[in-house]
Amino acid sequence: MRFAVIQFGGSNCDLDTQYICEEICGVDTDLIWYKDGIKNDYDAIIIPGGFSYGDYLRSGAIAAKTDIMQDIQSHASNGGLVLGICNGAQIGCETGLIEGIFTRNRYPKFISKPVCLRVENNISPFTSIYQKGEVIHIPIAHKDGRYVAPKDVTSRLNKNNQIALRFCDQNGNVNEESNPNGSKENITGVLNRDMNVMVMMPHPERASEMLLGSEDGLKIFKSMVSYSEKM
């Protein structure tokens, strides 16, 4: 089993993500500079958080147009796993791997804090270890994290069980008060139709060791490992 973490100019959660995959999950994980392209087969490719290209134009827009994203799209269309975290989520949407966009927060400031999330889908390769409806604690750190998509798109995502995570309160209630950035229907984790691509604004790699206050995010990576073991 082998995972890859992509590095763009301005990625800054790449090493944390690799650390969790290698040291905590025990999976050999290559760091790949975007100019080098994807040369090997990987079970999973992770696009980490950061500020690729200074968030110029729109967050993720410039990284989305690099050649390596075509390699990642091919990997995804062959069934390989792709996880986009924070800036990686923005890049995933800008690339078209996932419908919708993560744009400027309702109140346009940078929010960095732990939040509660409700696991809406526990049958995907990224969420299989969670219970459906489980409330988990994972931090967010973004200014462009408000999920926006046309009504017909969110209806379809809901219908096909493609919503993985929603902001909620401690008791799992999804409401306006527990929505930190104004995301549509509190959505902050989205899957593609085949469920082999997931993007999420919260940072699971920052909640994968009790030393950091929560290890709720670890189940994302462990779900991916468990899925890859069965393949």
Partner 1 sequence: MIYSAKITIHLKKGMLDPEAQAIRHALQNLGFATQNLSSARLFEIGIEAKSADSAHKEAEKMCERLLANPVIHDYTIEVRE
The catalytic residues are: 86, 203, 205
DSSP β-bridge partners for residue 102: 147
- To partner 1, the closest distance from the beta carbon of 204 in angstroms equals 25
Determine the length of the chain.
231
**Which amino acid appears at position 219 of this protein?**
K
Our CB check for partner 1 shows the closer of 73 and 128 to be: 73
In degrees and rounded to multiples of 5, residue 152 shows phi and psi of: -65, -30
160, 193 Cβ separation under 8 angstroms: yes
Please give the residue ranges that form the binding site for partner 1 (CB under 8 A).
57-58, 61, 65, 94, 99-101, 103-108, 146, 148-150, 182
Q: Which residue number, 102 or 130, has a Cβ lying nearer to partner 1? A: 102
Rounded CA-CA distance 28/46 in Å is 13
Closest approach, Cβ 56 to partner 1, in A, equals: 11
Q: Shortest distance, CB of residue 126 to partner 1, whole angstroms?
A: 23
As a whole number of angstroms, the distance between CA 103 and CA 187 comes to: 13
**Rounded CA separation 71/82 (Å):** 11
Structure tokens at 147: 């999920």
For partner 1, the closer of residues 58 and 156 by Cβ is 58
- Closest contact distance (angstroms) between CB of 73 and partner 1 is 15
- The residue among 143 and 219 lying less far from partner 1, judged by its C-beta, is 143
DSSP-derived secondary structure letter, 50: B
Question: How far is the C-alpha of 162 from the C-alpha of 124, rounded, in Å?
Answer: 9
